[in-house]
Structure 1
Amino acid sequence: MAIRKSTMQEQVAEAIAAIEPNDRPVVTFHTVTGPSPWLMSQLGLIGQLFVKYYFVTLTERVVVVHRASRMSNRPQELVHVVPLEQARTLITEVKRAAMWSSMQFHFPGEQKATRLNVARYWRSELDQFVPALTGVQITG
């Protein structure tokens, strides 16, 4: 089970190299969907049914989204590969907070945007991801 951030990032980099050997990850972070991690944790196992875990990676060419294993924190199946130009337009409402930052990401093929919650442990990666993709600094 991967616990260290660097181990998780290495595993995601290996998964990306397997599908596109000529691309290189710039920044990767772990995220949880859903309205509020605090609310979902209060609901216990029932709350876990309503959330999904992802790794979001900005590479030199695309944004890659892998489903993350709930048990092992390993990247699982590839969910989306979004070209950079398109990905820049899919991020809205970036909110930086002390414990759980969030952003809205409109996954291709979905009717509405998905809230991606980013734990404090991964906030520095979120702080790199958003400006590198959109050119806009996060405030807050």
Structure 2
Amino acid sequence: MAVRKDATIKQVEQTVLEMDPTDPPLTVFGVFLDDSPWLSCLGGGLDADTYFVTATARSVHFHQVKTRGIGQRPGDLVYSFDRDETARRMGTVRRRLLWSSFPFALPGHDEPTRMNVRLAWRKEFARFTADLDKAAARR
């Protein structure tokens, strides 16, 4: 079970490689689905859904986060989209001091879901959005 971010990323990457060894992970970051990030920052939003998002050259995968004690590791694969579909489902990113957020149209939901990215994942999230922007520009 990983406690440090780099160990967590390695576990998520290994999980994705086991799914398809021909499509290695490029970027991993965490998101939490909660309308009140302030409440989550204060520890109140502990029941918020959390996911590891992994981008590969062909796909974007959402794995449920499994928490045990103080560590986190990847759980079940919940959603998987090709990169073009991910770009279509993703709304405008709002960057804030402690977290960024973006709306994302999840299957089975009437409205886009607000996804929040903590400051600790900002570098990885910036890489993810830049890669999606490049892919969208090539279309």
* Structure 1 ranges of 4+ moved more than 6 A: none
Report the aligned-residue RMSD.
1.8
Preserved contact between residue 17 and residue 25 of structure 2 (Cα < 8 Å): no
State how far apart, in whole Å, the 1-side matches of 2:122 and 2:40 are. Answer: 20
Scaled by the length of structure 2, what TM-score is found? 0.87
Matches within 5 A, 1:9-28: 9-28=9-28
Preserved contact between residue 32 and residue 52 of structure 1 (Cα < 8 Å): yes
Cα distance, 1:3 vs structure 2: 2.2
Deviation by residue 1:19-77 (Cα, 9 ceiling, x = unmatched): 11111111110111111221245573xx323x111000110110010001133310000
Unaligned runs of at least 5 residues, structure 2? none
State how far apart, in whole Å, the 1-side matches of 2:43 and 2:26 are. Answer: 35
State how far apart, in whole Å, the 1-side matches of 2:25 and 2:17 are. Answer: 9
Amino acid at match of 1:125: E
Cα distance, 1:113 vs structure 2: 1.4
Scaled by the length of structure 1, what TM-score is found? 0.86
Q: Does 1:132 align with 2:96?
A: no
Preserved contact between residue 28 and residue 58 of structure 1 (Cα < 8 Å): yes
Count how many residue pairs are aligned between Structure 1 and Structure 2: 133
Preserved contact between residue 104 and residue 113 of structure 1 (Cα < 8 Å): yes
Aligned to 2:7: 7
